[in-house]
Chains A and B, each alone.
Chain A
Amino acid sequence: MITSLRVRAAVVSIAIFLAFIGVWHLATRSTGTAATMSPEYAKLMGLTANTGKSAMPGPLDVGAKLWEHLKQPFYDNGPNDKGLGIQLGYSVGRVGLGYLIAVIVAIPLGFLIGMSPLMNKALDPFIQVLKPISPLAWMPLALYTIKDSSLSAIFVIFICSVWPMLLNTAFGVAAVRKEWINVARTLEVGTFRRAFTVILPAAAPTILTGMRISIGIAWLVIVAAEMLVGGTGIGYFVWNEWNNLSITNVIIAILMIGLVGMLLDQILARFTRMVTFPE
């Protein structure tokens, strides 16, 4: 039977998913009373002890809870009880803002570094030292100077997403084919027009690749940053639910973090395709 690769891949994907759910269900289901004990003790021990149920929620528990969240994603019952949509919204907002500032800083600076060998050499030691610093290491300094936890999280997003964009922009700009630059030179095109009409489109695929790496890193870092600063956001939600011992909600949050991360990556992938040109 000849079916397209896509269909066959989809069948395998679904099979893997169902197998995973099945194993998960079997591993966490109740196995009957684990040990005989006095009713009072059993009450204290909870379901885990007296019906053999694992503390890990099964797929049905998670599914039911997820449905509950999806029915009401934007409820707000005070600081420690907000809908998943609101929490994700806070995180996406912080990532968006920090990322936007990083774009505004990194792309012009990357152009400067890529076009000027002097600035390239002069700034290189700073970039080499600053780039490997874990973005969370900046957090205390940010909290001390900015004095606002939410803004500090945005700063951390900025600092972690600026480097891949900066380096890719500088590389893309420096690697523009000499012959395209020569075309612009023989046409007496000025520096600014050259930057926008030749260098920018030629370097755009490389720049967008850097932006795609950055959005991925920013989304990784926001969860950790929000665990530290607290208050709102999906990272805070994860930590809060851990303190509530709601593993179900933690699993749901993990799933949501993955889905939103994929979405952000796909958006940037689409932009990259838009500026890529065949040669």
Chain B
Amino acid sequence: MSSNKFISIEGIAKRYPQPSGGTTTTFEDLWLSMPSGEFGCIIGHSGCGKTTVLNILAGLDEPSDGTVIVDGQAISGTSLDRAVIFQSHALLPWMTVMGNIAYAVSSKWRKWDNAKVRAHAQIYIDKVGLTGSEHKRPSELSGGMKQRVGIARALSITPKIMLMDEPFSALDALTRGTLQDEVRRVTLETGQTTFMITHDVDEAMYLADKIFLMTNGPGAVLAEIVENPLPKDRSRIDLHKHPQYYALRNHIIDFLVTRSKTFTSITPNHDPRNVPVVRPAFTEAVVTGASVMPSLASATR
């Protein structure tokens, strides 16, 4: 198994029967692969089936066709190898922070005694900066803190893949920023393979190594794989100062605004097994935009 196909989605489709007969196809013949240790991000409009793709990867949903191979094995159902961070954090409200994480830890290592489980859980509580809140219940936590618990719970079972379904979309901008920093730090530290869904372009640009662009549904296709040209040591604060920033951003925005609607009709020969990989960089069009950049940068100040 080649290492650049740690996750390999092979020709999956999702179709729903309609009450009137016939079927609705959310997406068809989707191929996608990702090497170990990378951060991948699907971006697309609502209804393109990106959540379905993630749920299939998690094992919570089944494809109508095709298979998903993770680390050389076809998946069937959910697994402790694939942790999910839910959009709505999905903490169990009758358990404390410690209880929620210990529940995950004891589910993975069933023979561990209580002390060992709690010690292991504590490492991840500390990692996401919740030290001192171990005995609080989810109702006593802010939205950002709840999602930190969700992240700690996912990390605590040391999964092969971490799956995130728009994890920060319910949070305010400031909290979202800090949590993005945390996720970036933790995933870089541990070399965690991560797969995320978002509709926030800046979030994708900051976090992802590869950005998968999906066209609009129904009948959505994976149109392009965008390689992130920004350096690995990028930081959220001066992301926009990087020379490639606007090239990348404009490319994605262009896709979302116009090409996601027209892609299927203008690209009839699109081969879903060989999706073009692009690496947006300074082109002529962007160079002309470069003169605008300083004023844009100053406008954000």
Q: Do A and B come from one complex?
A: yes
Chain A residues within an 8 Å CB radius of B139: 277-279
- Contact across chains for B60 and A186 when beta carbons are under 8 A apart: yes
Would A186 and B137 be within 8 Å (CB), given that A179-B88, A201-B94, A277-B93 are in contact? no
Would A187 and B90 be within 8 Å (CB), given that A182-B60, A197-B103 are in contact? no
- Contact across chains for B60 and A185 when beta carbons are under 8 A apart: yes
B78 within 8 A of A: yes
- Contact across chains for A188 and B78 when beta carbons are under 8 A apart: yes
Chain B residues within an 8 Å CB radius of A202: 92, 94
Chain B residues within an 8 Å CB radius of A177: 90
- Contact across chains for A185 and B78 when beta carbons are under 8 A apart: yes
Indicate the size class of the contact surface on chain B: 20 to 34
Chain B residues within an 8 Å CB radius of A197: 103
Would A201 and B92 be within 8 Å (CB), given that A182-B84, A182-B86 are in contact? yes
- Contact across chains for B82 and A278 when beta carbons are under 8 A apart: no
A4-24 CB contacts (< 8 Å) to partner B: none
Docked pose: A184 CA to B58 CA in angstroms? 12
Count of A-B contacts judged by CB separation below 8 Å: 55
A198 within 8 A of B: yes
The 0/1 profile, CB within 8 Å of A marked 1, for residues 167-198 of chain B is 00000000000000000000000000000000
Main secondary structure of the interface of A (DSSP, over half): helix
Would A179 and B78 be within 8 Å (CB), given that A187-B103, A279-B139 are in contact? no
Q: Closest CB of chain A to B179's CB: distance in Å? A: 19
Q: Closest CB of chain B to A202's CB: distance in Å? A: 8
- Contact across chains for A186 and B59 when beta carbons are under 8 A apart: yes
Chain A residues within an 8 Å CB radius of B137: 277-278
Chain B residues within an 8 Å CB radius of A277: 93-94, 137, 139
- Contact across chains for B108 and A198 when beta carbons are under 8 A apart: no
- Contact across chains for A183 and B90 when beta carbons are under 8 A apart: yes
Chain A residues within an 8 Å CB radius of B107: 187-189
Q: Closest CB of chain B to A278's CB: distance in Å? A: 4
Docked pose: A243 CA to B58 CA in angstroms? 72
The 0/1 profile, CB within 8 Å of B marked 1, for residues 188-201 of chain A is 11000000011001
A157-192 CB contacts (< 8 Å) to partner B: 177, 179-180, 182-183, 185-189
Chain B residue with Cβ nearest A183:
B90
- Contact across chains for A186 and B93 when beta carbons are under 8 A apart: no
Chain A residues within an 8 Å CB radius of B78: 185-188
Q: Closest CB of chain A to B265's CB: distance in Å? A: 36
B117 within 8 A of A: no
Docked pose: A198 CA to B107 CA in angstroms? 13
Docked pose: A231 CA to B10 CA in angstroms? 76
Docked pose: A180 CA to B82 CA in angstroms? 16
- Contact across chains for B90 and A179 when beta carbons are under 8 A apart: yes
- Contact across chains for A279 and B157 when beta carbons are under 8 A apart: no
Docked pose: A179 CA to B94 CA in angstroms? 14
Chain A residue with Cβ nearest B80:
A188
B83 within 8 A of A: yes
B104 within 8 A of A: yes
- Contact across chains for B92 and A183 when beta carbons are under 8 A apart: yes
- Contact across chains for B82 and A186 when beta carbons are under 8 A apart: yes
Chain B residue with Cβ nearest A279:
B93
Chain B residues within an 8 Å CB radius of A182: 60, 84, 86, 90
Chain B residues within an 8 Å CB radius of A278: 93, 137, 139
B79 within 8 A of A: yes
Chain B residues within an 8 Å CB radius of A179: 86, 88, 90
Chain A residue with Cβ nearest B154:
A186
The 0/1 profile, CB within 8 Å of B marked 1, for residues 51-84 of chain A is 0000000000000000000000000000000000
Nearest 9 pairs between A and B by C-beta? A179-B90, A187-B107, A278-B139, A277-B94, A185-B78, A201-B94, A277-B93, A186-B78, A186-B84
Q: Taking A183-B90, A279-B139 as given, write out 4 further A-B residue pairs in contact, using a Cβ cutoff of 8 Å, ordered by the A residue number.
A: A180-B92, A183-B84, A187-B103, A188-B80
Query: Interface residues, chain A, CB within 8 Å of chain B?
Result: 177, 179-180, 182-183, 185-189, 197-198, 201-202, 277-279
Q: List 21 A-B contacts (CB under 8 A).
A: A179-B90, A180-B92, A182-B84, A182-B86, A183-B90, A183-B92, A185-B60, A186-B59, A186-B60, A186-B78, A186-B79, A186-B82, A187-B103, A188-B107, A197-B103, A198-B92, A201-B92, A277-B137, A278-B93, A278-B137, A279-B138
